Amino acid sequence: MEQDALDKLFMARCLELARNGMGNVSPNPMVGSVVVYNNRIIGEGYHKEYGTEHAERNAINSVKDKSLLKSSTLYVSLEPCSHFGKQPPCSDLIREVEIPRVVIATSDPNPKVQGRGIESLKNNGVLVTTGVLEEEATELNRRFFTYHTKRRPYIILKWAQTLDGFIDTVRVPSSPIAPVWITNDLSRTLVHRWRSEEQAIMIGTNTVEKDNPRLDVRDWSGRSPLRIVLDRLLRLPNESNVYDGSLPTLVFMGNNATSSARKPAFAEIPNMELFTIDFARGTEVQILKELYQREIQSVFIEGGAMLINSFIARDFWDEARVFVGNKFFGDGVKAPHFQGTPLKYDDVGDSKLFVYRNS
């Protein structure tokens, strides 16, 4: 087999390994690595959890006969780091064990790296090949790349709508405070899996009032995201599920709520933080700026229509996941105003899932 084909084969394994870190490594990227001797993998690893050993170190440590490293090639799905963070530089380790060749899928957009890892290896006599399955590697870490290149989180919009284009029925004061389900159990389980893959989940005031969601991953194994609630006037009741103190929760309130008598009550809720913004001046920009500074690389916006429409209007979105259930409402809350050609669609039980990307 030609060397180019071999490089792609082993890099594909790196990407496969990297996916195992989904939902556990943020704000670090998902990275996989393999060590190859005589066209055979003798070691492999991936970044398992934020703060723990990086993929390259895990791959190198898994090699039983370390004497083979001096005649091996290291494959890694992202440029090795060259700075001290939670872990020491991987580029230093590669030089220390004297691996002669390194194959890299893509460079690291993090300003702390940005080619310095590649430069360090080359300057120390390591033969470096880059750009192998680069597009696939960038797609895998699209959250990480968006965060560092656009200086904001990767934004995923999600909603479910009926065949006639509604996301909710007409609510009256006597309506129960609970979701009006449009899809099915399989769809809800899928949404909980998605939540476990993102760092934060955001909803507006009306959604809390009408549905009283928990915004956790109780139907899936994984880490629940940071809950973000827009409560401009601090008018949501303390009994709301999102204010139960069970998960870290960030509440964006308006500057006209700073004198609210309810603030002391919120201060007593564990895992709760209030942050003031000016809702009259670019709400979306202020929210994204704050999330960027908190190193939140992805946010899952689940509703309602007003909140989702505001992000669409500002073109602050990267991906939209739209369920279409097998129901008609006839009247109610219109689905977000959205145009685009689906990247793909799938059948999810008796519902359909359409996925869009913002080009």
Residue where the block lists tokens 């360090």: 120
Distance of alpha carbon 69 from alpha carbon 62, whole angstroms: 11
Measured over the CA atoms of residue 276, residue 208, residue 241 and residue 326, the dihedral's sign is: negative
Residue where the block lists tokens 């959205």: 338
- Phi first, then psi, for residue 90 (nearest 5°) are -70, -30
Catalytic residue (choose from 56, 79, 197, 319): 56
DSSP one-letter code for 246:
S
Write the DSSP string, 215-229.
-S-TTSSSPPPEEEE
Distance of alpha carbon 320 from alpha carbon 317, whole angstroms: 8
Write the DSSP string, 15-32.
HHHHGGGTTTSTTSPP-E
Axis-axis angle for helices 305-313, 283-293 (nearest 10): 90
Q: How far is residue 319 from each of residues 118, 156, 159, 228, 356, measured CA to CA in Å? A: 31, 5, 12, 19, 6
Q: How far is residue 68 from each of residues 42, 65, 98, 100, 332, measured CA to CA in Å? A: 9, 6, 10, 11, 67
- Catalytic status, residue 56: yes
Active site residues: 56
